[in-house]
Structure 1
Amino acid sequence: MLVLRSSPTSPFGRKVKIAASELGLTDRIEVVMADTNDPSESLRQQNPLGKIPTLVLEDGTTLFDSRVVVEYLDALAGGGKIIPTGTTRFAQLRLQALADGICDAGLLQVYEGRFRPEEGRNANWLAHQDGKIGRALATLEADPPASEGRPQIGEIALACALGYLDLRFEGKWRAAHPRLVAWLDAFAARVPSFESTRFKG
């Protein structure tokens, strides 16, 4: 049995869970909660960076980060299932990188508020991260990805990024990005695991 160390709110963990579902591997993976802030957490032995998601293989070796984990799962399922091998490969990897960048910038804003006292928060730093998200969303709004057939890794990553913005930033992105809203609605309708992996706390 593979073991996925993650948390219910992690957009990167959610990406792995959706990928596993689309690849028919859910029954082969046990999801085990990880607390990245706990110094005694075994995650720090499984992944020296202490980050999630981390996948523990059956022989005890580990894989991280989410991009490596989903590539492993795709190969385990036979290859070329959610990560294309042909001409669309790099378009999907680019989309994944853009979506992951949205998550990274959002996480940095969340951490600034969570770990730094209010009087010490850096407004310029927060604006810098918000600018990354704004530019990425504008690029995607101008040309949303296709939404048909089995979802590819870039689309899965984008759905998780938008879901994270809904979770942590009250969905404020939606008002200015109607085409992305429509895209996410269509994605959710054809990918049931998007809803089943949504944090409901």
Structure 2
Amino acid sequence: MKQQKPLSSGPALCGAGTGGRAILRSTLTSPYGRKVRMAAHTLGLFDKIQVVPGDTRDPNDDLRVQNPLGKMPCLLTNDATLFDSRVILEYLDAQAGGARIIPADGIARYRCLTLAALADGVTDAALLMVYEGRFRDRDQVSQVWLDHQSDKIARALSALSVAPPAPEKTDVASISLACALGYLDWRKSRAWREEWPQLVAWLSRFSANEPAFNLTEQPND
């Protein structure tokens, strides 16, 4: 089986950051940025990345030039500007030699990516619940919308509790699930620990096996 070659013909992860490092536009609170930071730690690439925060609500932040959507994370290298987290993780995997956190091919690849998409959907729904309270006046907040997002989270967690990614293996699926559960704990968008004890046990095993989970923990408010 052939390994993927790095996308760059030059030194991996070069950019305009300090010491020629690539620049990761992300806050330390972003669950998607946490995915990138966790993957970079796991792949031994974190020392090649400089994290530069951004403000998605500031029209003068050059994040909107780097990513027209004005969203984080966004990785700036000498070769390209990359977004979103799924693309960046695939790039990092290639830079590390390939097939480290994403299976190279076959059904295993698509199963892994599908589990990652399901876990990302939990994060998406949790973030939409946060935004509902952040960007609307209190009397305009839609409980119907909040319940709709909460139901998405419940269905996804129920499915993941039955067939989660392997906790002893760090790949895009386990990274995405760990970051989703960590974000639920941090934002408290939806209580989950009592209802899905299988995932409590899963996260405990994963975090014990993967030091990058605790290294990338969101700061306290």
SS at match of 1:4: strand
Amino acid at match of 2:81: T
What is the CA-CA distance between 1:170 and the residue it aligns to? 6.8
* Residue of 168, 171, 180 corresponding to 2:199: 180
TM superposition outliers: structure 1 runs of 4+ over 4 Å: none
Partner of 1:3: helix, strand, or coil?
Answer: strand
Give 1 or 2: higher helix fraction: 1
Offset of residue 168 of structure 1: 0.6
> Which secondary structure does the structure 2 equivalent of 1:50 belong to?
coil
Per the alignment, residue 108 of structure 2 pairs with: 88
CA RMSD, 1 decimal: 1.2
User: 1:65-109, CA deviations, whole angstroms, 9 ceiling, x for partnerless residues?
Assistant: 000000011011111110111331111100110011111100100
Q: Return 5+ residue gaps in structure 2 as ranges.
A: 1-20
**Separation (CA, whole Å) in 2 of partners of 1:48 and 1:110:** 22
What corresponds to 1:64 in structure 2?
83
Task: Note the 1:71-110 alignment, pairs <5 A.
Answer: 71-86=90-105, 87-110=107-130
Structure-2-length-normalised TM-score: 0.87
Q: CA deviation at 1:171?
A: 6.8
Count of residues in correspondence between the two structures? 199
Q: Report % sequence identity.
A: 55
Is 2:66–2:81's contact at 8 Å kept on the other side of the alignment? yes
Confirm whether residue 157 of structure 1 aligns to residue 180 of structure 2: no
The structure that has the greater radius of gyration is 2
The residue that corresponds to 1:193 in the other structure is 212
Is residue 2:71 matched to residue 1:36? no
What's 2:132 paired with? 112
